[in-house]
């Protein structure tokens, strides 16, 4: 009985354990089933979205930046759409067919096209960037992937490097690229890219969600031909004088438009020293002291002053003159750049008058040019002046200014007394070409009366004809201007034997169309502004006159030239100021190109500058008016060759990648009409247009 009970109890315990285990596994299975239903049904959409997120990523599609153009609409900075080609060898089905397609489309040799298939790599990028045609030629080939790439290009090289700035990692850095970054950059698009288990994008697996919108355009006031002329003139001057750098600015005094702006510092053409590096201007500031004296009525051009023996001690400081001129009048003192005369006459001005006169011309304040980094210069208020400050300011010391400030101030003398705001931007346009903003000329203030401006213009014309600026003179048109030579201040004092040489002027003096300002930084040897900077001005103006389509009023120049020729030949003199732009002497036909007769053409070579470009003579071959003969240019540097052709009134198209010119098309000796285009050939022809002309 006991054993039977024990057996019965043991069987009951075994059955209970089995039931317990069965219940456990049923519960586990039920939990798994419920979890499966929960994941697949209840949370299914959420987890499917998460899986998609892990295997896909959203990326930006860069937008093409807007085009920056010169005043004539020529592109000077633009985004070039190129394509990179990569191969996934393991995806290619017909290797030989793909090799042939790659060779034909990319111009590769057979061995180069086979390279991706001689490696174990799963992804092989091919070298180089290719045009849009490559995308069309290789589309639809399994295992070959073509990816879009945008590159910012400057078709004219470093010709406008300082003005344009650069684009680095999609951001505008310096120049117009920075100042108008938001307008130029456009709006990026969106795309979805597939990625592998490690999160890496899968090549060729992308879907455009939102296409990018390109940026808008910016049209500058700069004239490409004048920029080339200015750049060439400045580079030649630096090479000739050994200067460390310099600035050359050309403006239109009537509108304030900047037509050319070149700065080079220690060989760097991306410099913007003309607006970022102020310096003591020296004698180029003297006309503005005289303007203040005349405008306030403190002096007239006929007022006499005694400069003694060329030395004058004032408040513990000795001023000297290069020339001893004794008793003189104010006009002659300015023409000969007398320090003593200007300092003595400036004592007639109160500190407030002297300060306000210079401040009205824009010194000590930013001009407002549409470029980042502009410096204001320095013009201390009278409360901070010492006993010597009045004399120092009168001759251009204890004040610092940028080359652009001085160019705009000379523009005020040229246009009848209005200080204009400098204009670098002419138009702002949308991506579709719609005009969004048209920048109009803006006068900041009237600085002097038209009569005072006219008196100064006459005096500054004398400074070029028989004063310190004779090397800036033209044989046909009168030039008004002033030289300057100042010692370089390093912050700890004035450097020994280091100078800035400057010249500011405008022409034609009777009815100015252009202002030219030149600064050379530490020229070696002869360092006076009249010997170094003035010839650069003349070379620039001569080249502008010789250019085919400069921003000049040819009709007004022709009228003025005929008038001056009539005066020289004994004809009746006409009031010069009545010869406004567009005027015409009755019965005198206007020349088709240059406004002067052949024998009156200015020389293209400055003997004092050692132009380095001999042989450029008249425009017309004897007996064939209006035609020019293509010169022999073989072996010349491209820029020298381009300058010769520009001097003859011809356009230039560069078809060379470097090195000297090998030939021209048309060839040397062929007669062309002024304004025709000559192609410079050399190296490998690739059709790229560099800094020398337009297609």
Count CA atoms closer than 13 A to 488's CA, side-chain side.
18
Per-residue model confidence (pLDDT) at position 16 = 74
d(C-alpha 513, C-alpha 507), whole Å: 6
- Shared domain for 201 and 245, answered yes or no, is no
pLDDT tens per residue across span 392-407: 999 999 999 999 999 9
Burial 176-194 (b: 16+ CB within 10 A, else e): bbbbbbebbbbebbebebb
Can you list the pairs that 380-388 forms with residues at least 24 positions away whose Cβ atoms lie under 8 Å? 381/355, 382/351, 382/352, 382/354, 382/355, 385/351, 387/315, 387/316, 388/314, 388/315, 388/316, 388/317
- Shared domain for 232 and 332, answered yes or no, is yes
Domain boundary among 555, 577, 599: 577
Per-residue model confidence (pLDDT) at position 243 = 92
d(C-alpha 289, C-alpha 456), whole Å: 11
Q: Is the pLDDT of residue 34 over 80?
A: no
* Residue 15 covered by a domain: no
Per-residue model confidence (pLDDT) at position 194 = 59
Per-residue model confidence (pLDDT) at position 661 = 85
CATH number assigned to the domain comprising residue 331: 3.40.710.10
Percent of the chain's residues with pLDDT above 90? 39
Q: Is the pLDDT of residue 553 over 60?
A: yes
Q: Is the pLDDT of residue 624 over 50?
A: no
Per-residue model confidence (pLDDT) at position 323 = 81
Average pLDDT, integer, range 458-463: 91
* Residue 18 covered by a domain: no
- Shared domain for 211 and 230, answered yes or no, is no
Per-residue model confidence (pLDDT) at position 685 = 38
Q: Is the pLDDT of residue 598 over 50?
A: no
* Residue 45 covered by a domain: no
Average pLDDT, integer, range 645-668: 75
* Residue 198 covered by a domain: yes
pLDDT, greater one: 73 or 94: 73
Residue 533: which pLDDT band, with cuts at 50, 70 and 90? confident
pLDDT, greater one: 157 or 683: 157
CATH number assigned to the domain comprising residue 181: 3.90.1310.10
Q: What is the mean pLDDT of the chain?
A: 79
Average pLDDT, integer, range 623-637: 70
Taking alpha carbons only, the member of 22, 16, 151 closest to residue 83 is 151
Average pLDDT, integer, range 298-309: 92
- Shared domain for 199 and 248, answered yes or no, is no
pLDDT, greater one: 572 or 570: 570
- Shared domain for 197 and 232, answered yes or no, is no
Taking alpha carbons only, the member of 418, 456, 504 closest to residue 334 is 456
Domain boundary among 186, 205, 220: 220
Per-residue model confidence (pLDDT) at position 361 = 97
- Shared domain for 307 and 402, answered yes or no, is yes
User: Which tokens sit at 482?
Assistant: 């002033």
d(C-alpha 128, C-alpha 147), whole Å: 12
Residue 574: which pLDDT band, with cuts at 50, 70 and 90? very low
pLDDT, greater one: 590 or 245: 245
* Residue 523 covered by a domain: yes
- Shared domain for 294 and 271, answered yes or no, is yes
- Shared domain for 215 and 231, answered yes or no, is no
Taking alpha carbons only, the member of 458, 449, 369, 465 closest to residue 412 is 449
Q: Is the pLDDT of residue 622 over 50?
A: no
Average pLDDT, integer, range 448-472: 88
Per-residue model confidence (pLDDT) at position 403 = 96
Residue 47: which pLDDT band, with cuts at 50, 70 and 90? low
Residue 679: which pLDDT band, with cuts at 50, 70 and 90? confident
Q: Which of 5-9, 102-106, 474-478 has the highest mean pLDDT?
A: 102-106
Q: Is the pLDDT of residue 614 over 70?
A: no
For the ranges 38-52, 59-73, 633-647, the lowest mean pLDDT is seen at 38-52
Pairing relationship of beta strands 677-682 and 651-656 according to DSSP bridges: parallel
Residue 57: which pLDDT band, with cuts at 50, 70 and 90? low
Residue 652: which pLDDT band, with cuts at 50, 70 and 90? confident
Residue 573: which pLDDT band, with cuts at 50, 70 and 90? very low
* Residue 343 covered by a domain: yes
- Shared domain for 356 and 459, answered yes or no, is yes
CB neighbours of 545 closer than 8 A, spacing ≥ 6?
474, 552, 557, 594, 602
Average pLDDT, integer, range 466-494: 83
**CA distances (Å), 461 to each of 407, 408, 454, 574, in order?**
17, 18, 11, 18
User: Which tokens sit at 408?
Assistant: 């705009």
* Residue 486 covered by a domain: yes
pLDDT, greater one: 579 or 67: 67
- Shared domain for 572 and 527, answered yes or no, is yes
Q: Is the pLDDT of residue 389 over 90?
A: yes
Residues present in the chain in total: 695
Q: Is the pLDDT of residue 209 over 90?
A: no
Per-residue model confidence (pLDDT) at position 27 = 77
* Residue 662 covered by a domain: yes
Average pLDDT, integer, range 548-561: 77
d(C-alpha 248, C-alpha 516), whole Å: 7
Per-residue model confidence (pLDDT) at position 360 = 97
Residue 235: give the domain boundaries.
225-577
Per-residue model confidence (pLDDT) at position 640 = 73
Q: Is the pLDDT of residue 613 over 60?
A: no
Average pLDDT, integer, range 674-682: 76
For the ranges 243-257, 470-484, 554-568, 616-630, the lowest mean pLDDT is seen at 616-630
d(C-alpha 184, C-alpha 37), whole Å: 54
Q: Is the pLDDT of residue 144 over 70?
A: yes
Per-residue model confidence (pLDDT) at position 381 = 95
Average pLDDT, integer, range 381-402: 94
For the ranges 192-196, 211-215, 370-374, 470-474, the lowest mean pLDDT is seen at 192-196
d(C-alpha 415, C-alpha 479), whole Å: 14
Domain boundary among 220, 251, 279: 220
Q: Which residues pair with 220 in a beta bridge?
A: 425
Per-residue model confidence (pLDDT) at position 11 = 60
pLDDT tens per residue across span 320-343: 988 888 899 999 999 999 999 999
Q: Is the pLDDT of residue 436 over 80?
A: yes
Domain count, the chain: 3
Q: Is the pLDDT of residue 251 over 90?
A: yes
317: phi > 0 → left, psi -120 to 50 → alpha, else beta; which? beta
Q: Which residues pair with 219 in a beta bridge?
A: 69, 427
CATH number assigned to the domain comprising residue 679: 3.30.10.20
pLDDT, greater one: 641 or 621: 641
Residue 54: which pLDDT band, with cuts at 50, 70 and 90? low
Q: Is the pTM of this model over 0.75?
A: no
- In the three-class reduction of DSSP (H, G, I as helix; E, B as strand; rest coil), residue 167 is classed as strand
Per-residue model confidence (pLDDT) at position 45 = 67
pLDDT tens per residue across span 129-142: 777 777 777 777 77
CB neighbours of 584 closer than 8 A, spacing ≥ 6?
555, 558, 559, 590
Q: Which residues pair with 298 in a beta bridge?
A: none
Residue 637: which pLDDT band, with cuts at 50, 70 and 90? confident
- Shared domain for 67 and 200, answered yes or no, is yes
Q: Is the pLDDT of residue 683 over 80?
A: no
Per-residue model confidence (pLDDT) at position 562 = 72
- Shared domain for 510 and 410, answered yes or no, is yes
pLDDT, greater one: 586 or 341: 341
For the ranges 64-73, 290-299, 546-555, the lowest mean pLDDT is seen at 546-555
Residue 165: which pLDDT band, with cuts at 50, 70 and 90? very high
């Amino acid at each position: 009985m006991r054993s039977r009970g024990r057996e019965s109890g043991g069987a009951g315990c075994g059955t209970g354990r089995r039931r317990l285990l069965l219940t456990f596994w049923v519960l586990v299975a039920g939990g798994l089933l419920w979890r499966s239903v929960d994941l697949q049904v209840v949370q299914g959409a959420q987890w499917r979205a998460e899986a998609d997120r892990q295997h896909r990523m959203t990326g930006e599609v860069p937008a093409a930046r807007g085009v920056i153009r010169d005043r004539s609409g020529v592109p000077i900075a633009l985004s070039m759409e190129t394509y990179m080609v990569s191969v996934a060898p393991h995806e290619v089905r017909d290797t030989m067919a793909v090799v042939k397609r790659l060779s034909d489309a990319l111009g590769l040799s057979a061995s180069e096209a086979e390279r991706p298939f001689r490696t174990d790599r799963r992804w092989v990028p091919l070298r180089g960037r290719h045009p849009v045609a490559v995308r069309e030629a290789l589309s639809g080939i399994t295992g070959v992937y073509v990816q879009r790439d945008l590159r910012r290009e400057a078709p004219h090289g470093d010709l406008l490097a300082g003005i344009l700035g650069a684009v680095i990692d999609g951001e505008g850095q310096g120049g117009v690229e920075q100042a108008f970054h938001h307008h130029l950059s456009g709006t990026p698009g969106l795309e979805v890219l597939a990625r592998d288990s490690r999160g890496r994008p899968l090549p060729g697996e992308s879907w455009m969600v939102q296409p990018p919108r390109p940026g808008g355009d910016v049209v500058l006031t700069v004239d490409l031909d004048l920029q080339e002329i200015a750049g060439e003139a400045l580079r030649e001057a630096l090479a000739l004088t050994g200067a460390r750098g310099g600035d050359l600015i050309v403006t239109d005094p009537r509108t304030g438009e900047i037509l050319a702006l070149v700065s080079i510092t220690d060989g760097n053409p991306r410099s913007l020293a003309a607006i970022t590096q102020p310096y003591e201007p020296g004698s180029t500031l003297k006309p503005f002291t005289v303007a203040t004296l005349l405008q306030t009525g403190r002096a007239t051009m006929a007022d006499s002053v005694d400069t003694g023996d060329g030395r004058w001690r004032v408040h513990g400081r000795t001023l000297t003159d290069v020339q001893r001129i004794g008793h003189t009048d104010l006009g002659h003192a300015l023409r000969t750049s007398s320090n003593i005369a200007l300092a003595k006459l400036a004592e007639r001005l109160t500190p407030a008058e002297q300060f306000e006169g210079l401040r009205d011309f824009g010194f000590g304040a930013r001009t407002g040019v549409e470029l980042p980094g502009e410096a204001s210069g320095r013009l201390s208020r009278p409360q901070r002046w010492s006993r010597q400050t009045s004399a120092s300011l009168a001759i251009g010391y204890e004040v610092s200014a940028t080359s652009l400030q001085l160019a705009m101030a000379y523009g005020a003398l040229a246009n009848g007394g209005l200080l204009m705001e400098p204009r670098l931007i002419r138009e702002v346009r949308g991506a579709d070409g719609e005009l969004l903003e048209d920048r109009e000329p803006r006068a900041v203030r009237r600085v002097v009366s038209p009569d005072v401006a006219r008196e100064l213009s006459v005096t500054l014309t004398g400074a070029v004809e028989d004063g310190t600026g004779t090397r800036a003179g033209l044989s046909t048109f009168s030039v008004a201007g002033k030289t300057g030579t100042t010692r370089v201040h390093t912050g700890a004092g004035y450097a020994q034997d280091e100078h800035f040489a400057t010249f500011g002027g405008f022409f034609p003096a009777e009815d100015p169309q252009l202002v030219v300002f030149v600064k050379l930084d530490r020229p070696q040897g002869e360092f006076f502004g009249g010997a170094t900077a003035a010839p650069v001005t003349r070379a620039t103006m001569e080249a502008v006159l010789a250019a085919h389509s400069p921003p000049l009023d040819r009709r007004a120049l022709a009228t003025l030239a005929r008038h001056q020729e009539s005066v020289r030949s004994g004809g009746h003199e006409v009031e010069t100021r009545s010869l406004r732009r567009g005027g015409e002497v009755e019965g005198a036909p206007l020349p088709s190109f240059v406004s002067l007769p052949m024998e009156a053409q200015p020389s293209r070579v400055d003997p004092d500058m050692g132009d380095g470009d001999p042989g450029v003579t008249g425009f017309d071959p004897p007996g064939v008016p209006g035609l020019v003969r293509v010169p022999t240019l073989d072996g010349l540097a491209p820029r020298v060759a381009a300058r010769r052709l520009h001097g003859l009134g011809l356009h230039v198209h560069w078809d060379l990648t470097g090195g000297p010119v090998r030939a021209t098309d048309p060839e040397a000796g062929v007669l062309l009409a002024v304004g025709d285009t000559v192609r410079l050939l050399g190296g490998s022809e690739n059709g790229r247009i560099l800094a020398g002309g337009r297609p």
